[in-house]
């Protein structure tokens, strides 16, 4: 008989209610002097793409070098008292969705993946802001810089957003873009010529590199666990992220993670990427709007500082209000102040 203190808690899919279960024996054997052969995780879809470069931008790529874990590893970590094969796939799916829905993140940390990236330096700066990854980058101090720089097609020069200081808003006319692209190529060629001239003159590589443009490609190994990778994808696949990093995030998420952990990917899309998150203020206002209490909704919006007005009586810009209006539109509702 197992004592209550030796028992563990396990989530019962469908009910979202934990129930008590019996623990498994260590490594499946009572004889701890006999080592057990534990098969390595094998995901056929991911193994088939190991080392295969996925093209990103004009000369970048992402490829998988190695990985550890799969959907089953997450389930096993959550049900530490269970061995393999004790649950059906629909029950595993229910547990993974429960974990994602309630932000129980530790089991997702049991999976790791290592990438080889080729990425422009300005985009790479956004990768290294995610300090939860292990990184080893190609060194232009020890080696000659990669002779490649990202080039922008004439129809892809983006205009500065008038609403977001760090964002884009539409594209410039192609005739303008043609001039910009020609100037870009000339600048990159000249920077490379100067760099190689310095090297030929005997300048140290660590100093010769200082005027290379941020469009120069670099390469790196980037290893990260699944929990932190999903956080990276949630931020970098967002419509507000810079287009270049979004291109990398889309490839990693849609081509690689979706094949590696398909049940996790489904839950991630459902509860993170496509979910609608509401603040307490937003929930209050949506309730009032949904009950057709326009006056109360207006009063609540005023009280929460969403309807500040200019001297001419028009509404002043308010980012929180704009985000609420977008959520209302997604729900088929209209703000009473619009």
Active site residues: 236
Contacts of 63 (CB under 8 A, 6+ apart): 49, 50, 51, 52, 53, 54, 115, 116
CA–CA gap between residue 285 and residue 283 (Å, rounded) = 6
Residue of 194, 184, 208, 46 lying closest to 120 (CA atoms): 184
Whether the CB-CB separation of 74 and 107 falls below 8 Å is answered with: yes
CA–CA gap between residue 280 and residue 258 (Å, rounded) = 33
CA–CA gap between residue 101 and residue 115 (Å, rounded) = 27
């Amino acid at each position: 008989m197992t004592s209550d203190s030796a028992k563990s808690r396990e989530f019962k899919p469908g009910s979202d209610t934990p129930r008590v279960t019996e623990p498994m024996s260590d490594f499946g054997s009572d004889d701890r002097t006999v080592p057990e052969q534990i098969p390595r995780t094998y995901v056929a879809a991911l193994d088939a793409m190991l080392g295969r470069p996925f093209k990103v931008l004009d000369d970048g790529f992402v490829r998988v070098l190695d990985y550890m874990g799969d959907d089953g590893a997450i389930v096993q970590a959550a049900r530490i008292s269970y061995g393999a094969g004790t649950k059906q796939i629909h029950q595993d799916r229910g547990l993974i969705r429960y974990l994602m829905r309630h932000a129980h993140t530790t089991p997702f940390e049991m999976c790791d993946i290592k990438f080889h990236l080729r990425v422009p330096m300005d985009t790479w700066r956004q990768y290294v802001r995610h300090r939860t990854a292990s990184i080893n980058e190609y060194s232009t101090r020890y080696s000659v810089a990669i002779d490649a720089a990202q080039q922008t097609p004439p129809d892809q020069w983006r205009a500065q957003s008038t609403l977001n200081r760090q964002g884009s808003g539409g594209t410039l006319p192609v005739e303008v873009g043609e001039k910009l692209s020609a100037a870009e190529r000339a600048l990159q060629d000249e920077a490379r010529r100067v760099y190689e001239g310095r090297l030929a003159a005997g300048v140290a590589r660590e100093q010769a590199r200082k005027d290379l443009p941020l469009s120069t490609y670099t390469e790196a190994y980037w290893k990260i666990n699944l929990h932190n990778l999903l956080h990276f994808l949630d931020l970098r696949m967002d419509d507000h992220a810079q287009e270049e990093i979004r291109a990398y995030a889309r490839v990693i998420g849609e081509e690689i993670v979706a094949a590696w952990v398909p049940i996790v990917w489904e839950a991630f899309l459902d509860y993170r990427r496509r979910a609608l998150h509401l603040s307490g203020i937003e929930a209050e206002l949506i309730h009032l709007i949904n009950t057709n209490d326009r006056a109360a909704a207006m009063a609540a919006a005023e009280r929460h500082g969403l309807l500040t007005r200019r001297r001419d009586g028009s509404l002043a810009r308010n980012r929180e209000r704009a985000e609420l209006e977008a959520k209302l539109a997604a729900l088929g509702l209209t703000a009473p102040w619009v």
